[in-house]
Amino acid sequence: MSFNVPTNFASRPVAVIGAGTLGRRIALMFAGHGADVKIYDLAAPQREAAVDFVVQNLPLDGTTDVVPGNVSGNADIADAVRDAWLVVEAIPERLELKIQVFGQLDELAAPDAILASNSSSYASRLFLDKVRHPERVLNIHFYMPPKKAAVDVMSSGKTDRDVLDFVLTTLPQFGLYPFEARRESTGFIFNRVWAAVKRESLEVVAEGVSTPQEIDRMFQINTGSTAGPFRMMDQVGLDVVLDIEEHYCAEHPEYPDGPRRVLRTYLEQGRLGVKSGAGFYDYPHP
């Protein structure tokens, strides 16, 4: 049976579950393009910080002719998702927690609401244990909007085709550029390409061929990028980079161990990147 996609989404809110770095940026994109947004998070300081972030960054560049939507923080998940046409989960990458949350969302959200995961590590098919309507569940993976506005769209394996098509045609109205992963893919599309760049850069260092700083400088000269892969890894956090690489290597045991050895060496020194004040580079104001 075909899923009835929302027909009146322009008058309904978007709910974001999780008020962290990406959750608040997701909320900003929708609010900046006229949608009312409800942000749910258990931690009151996190909710308040997310709302403040959105308000302080409105209006978005290029949207001065758009009336921004209202944004509010919600301590009750049922209040947050009530009447929402789209619910985006942006909670920590803990599989059991996501399974529990998607069960709640499926029970509490409107019958035509689309339930999306922003997970960067897990396919949404892994969250369906407690979901009665898997045809409305999918991955919508954001990078770092508003500057990085491309998103990956990937089926749970049971997602209704109408839901995928609706998302692909609707997200551009909110300043986003959706690209469909046509098969299940760990890392989706761009993240797989970026993972290969990171892995090979780290392997070059592991083999003693070059240094992080020299690789970054060559990368900048040859690509025109403002930062190289090691500077960008520092921004993400080397602990996070290692977690992601471990996830890839669990599926691909043929991948070299050198990149993980390099990362562990830095982590053992407490050099986590920008957030700790030191990674491949030193940062005076973490």
Q: Would you state the structure tokens that stand for residue 167, as one six-digit string? A: 């998302």
In angstroms, the CA 178 to CA 111 distance is 24
For each successive 10 residues of the chain (286 residues), what is the average pLDDT? 87 97 96 98 97 97 94 98 98 94 98 96 95 98 95 98 98 98 95 96 98 98 97 93 92 96 98 96 85
Residue 144's beta-bridge partner residues? 148
Q: Would you state the structure tokens that stand for residue 59, as one six-digit string? A: 């209006």
Sheet holding 14-17, edge to edge: 71-74, 37-40, 14-17, 86-89, 114-117, 137-144, 148-155, 177-181
Looking at residue 286, its pLDDT comes to 59
Contact between 188 and 175 (Cβ < 8 Å): no
Residues of the chain with CATH 1.10.1040.10: 191-275
Looking at 3.40.50.720, 3.30.420.40, 3.40.50.300, 3.30.430.20, the CATH number of the domain 9-181 comes to: 3.40.50.720
Looking at residue 1, its pLDDT comes to 52
Q: Tell the CATH superfamily of the 191-275 domain.
A: N-(1-d-carboxylethyl)-l-norvaline Dehydrogenase; domain 2 (1.10.1040.10)
By the 10 Å C-beta count (0-12 exposed, 13-18 middle, 19+ buried), 277 is classed as: middle
Looking at residue 132, its pLDDT comes to 97
